[in-house]
């Protein structure tokens, strides 16, 4: 999709505590020694004898998974919102899990406003994405500073595939405000939790007009900003 067009329109397990039963208490009272490498657990009975608890690992929040975007200019961590944007998050994670984003580039930047990636290889070739997705821009999430959203063809409501962008300033013009393509908006599906300064640095890199290769490349970093990988963190 053309960045020029993009801006012309008014946009888009857990660990369970081990249970200690009566047998443990019998062994303890009988003076049996617990092996040194046996982890201490909490009594299943909250009114029972006090014991030292092992700190449980944090449970995975399936509705808000976290991904890490590794680039040659730094790392950006993003908390996804599968509660408000279930289809969009599922689509994005499908690309993540198959390694689709490995060695792709940030192919469009607008200084201190946004960065876009997920569609072009390091040699500026358009990758072949999967099927287009239903637009969930009506989910109530806004294109605020630090949010991640799906790029799409401004003329088609349901046309997002692999390309995404990070907002570096509030962009209400990209929010859902109606049911026509120019008003439907761009679906927000997560929030940057770490590394927003990395995204800002990327947005300020010197650019070149490579629109002769593709109109998407009208403001592409001269020195490629490469996404080495996007991976789930939890």
pLDDT in tens, 199-208: 999 999 999 9
Token reading at 70: 């590794």
Tell me how far apart the alpha carbons of residues 140 and 155 are, in angstroms, rounded to a whole number: 21
Q: What is the pLDDT of residue 197?
A: 98
**CA-closest candidate to residue 100, choices 77, 135, 126:** 126
Tell me how far apart the alpha carbons of residues 42 and 24 are, in angstroms, rounded to a whole number: 11
Q: Is residue 7 part of a domain?
A: no
Q: Is residue 4 part of a domain?
A: no
Residues 163 and 53 in one domain: no
Residues 64 and 110 in one domain: yes
24 φ/ψ angles, rounded to the nearest 5 degrees: -60, -40
Across the chain, what does the average pLDDT equal? 83
Q: What is the pLDDT of residue 20?
A: 38
Tell me how far apart the alpha carbons of residues 80 and 99 are, in angstroms, rounded to a whole number: 18
pLDDT of 34 strictly over 70: no
Q: What is the pLDDT of residue 53?
A: 42
Q: What is the pLDDT of residue 62?
A: 84
Task: Give me the helices (H) in the chain, please.
Answer: 3-8, 22-29, 86-97, 181-184, 196-203
pLDDT of 94 strictly over 80: yes
Q: What is the pLDDT of residue 224?
A: 97
The answer to whether residues 168 and 113 touch, using CB atoms and an 8 Å cutoff, is: yes
Which residues form the domain of 51? Answer: 13-58
Residues 87 and 52 in one domain: no
**Strand 147-150 versus strand 114-121 pairing type:** unpaired
Looking only at Cα atoms, what is the longest distance across the chain?
Answer: 83
| Final residue in a domain of this structure, among 58, 76, 91 | 58
Residues 41 and 65 in one domain: no
**Residue 51 or 70, more confident:** 70
Q: Which helix (H) or strand (E) holds 110?
A: strand 104-110
Distance of alpha carbon 123 from the chain centroid: 24
Residues 43 and 140 in one domain: no
Indicate the pLDDT class of residue 174, thresholds 50, 70 and 90.
very high
Number of domains forming the structure of the chain: 2
Residues 45 and 92 in one domain: no
Q: What is the pLDDT of residue 1?
A: 55
CATH code for the domain in which residue 166 is found: 2.40.100.10
| Digit-coded pLDDT (tens) for 182-201 | 999 999 999 999 999 999 99
Indicate the pLDDT class of residue 110, thresholds 50, 70 and 90.
very high
162 φ/ψ angles, rounded to the nearest 5 degrees: -105, -20
Tally of CA atoms within 13 A in the half-sphere of 134 that contains its CB: 7
Q: Is residue 8 part of a domain?
A: no
């Amino acid at each position: 999709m053309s960045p020029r067009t993009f801006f012309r329109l008014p946009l888009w397990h857990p660990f369970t505590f081990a249970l200690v039963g009566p047998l443990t208490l019998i062994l303890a009272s009988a003076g049996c020694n617990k092996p040194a490498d046996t982890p201490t657990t909490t009594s299943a009975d909250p009114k029972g004898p006090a014991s030292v608890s092992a700190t449980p690992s944090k449970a995975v929040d399936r509705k808000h998974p976290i991904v890490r975007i590794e680039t040659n200019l730094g790392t950006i961590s993003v908390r996804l919102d599968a509660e408000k944007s279930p289809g969009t998050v599922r689509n994005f994670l499908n690309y993540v899990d198959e390694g689709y984003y490995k060695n792709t580039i940030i192919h469009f930047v607008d200084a201190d406003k946004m960065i876009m990636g997920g569609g072009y290889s390091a040699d500026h070739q358009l990758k072949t994405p999967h099927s287009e997705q239903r637009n969930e821009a009506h989910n109530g999430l806004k294109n605020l500073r630090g949010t991640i959203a799906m790029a799409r063809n401004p003329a088609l409501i349901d046309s997002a595939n692999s390309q995404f962008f990070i907002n570096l300033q509030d962009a209400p013009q990209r929010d859902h405000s109606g049911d026509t393509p120019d008003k439907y908006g761009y679906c927000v599906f997560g929030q940057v939790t770490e590394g927003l300064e990395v995204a800002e640095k990327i947005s300020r890199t010197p650019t070149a007009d490579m629109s002769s290769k593709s109109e998407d490349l009208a403001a592409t970093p001269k020195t490629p900003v490469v996404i080495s990988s996007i991976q789930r963190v939890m």
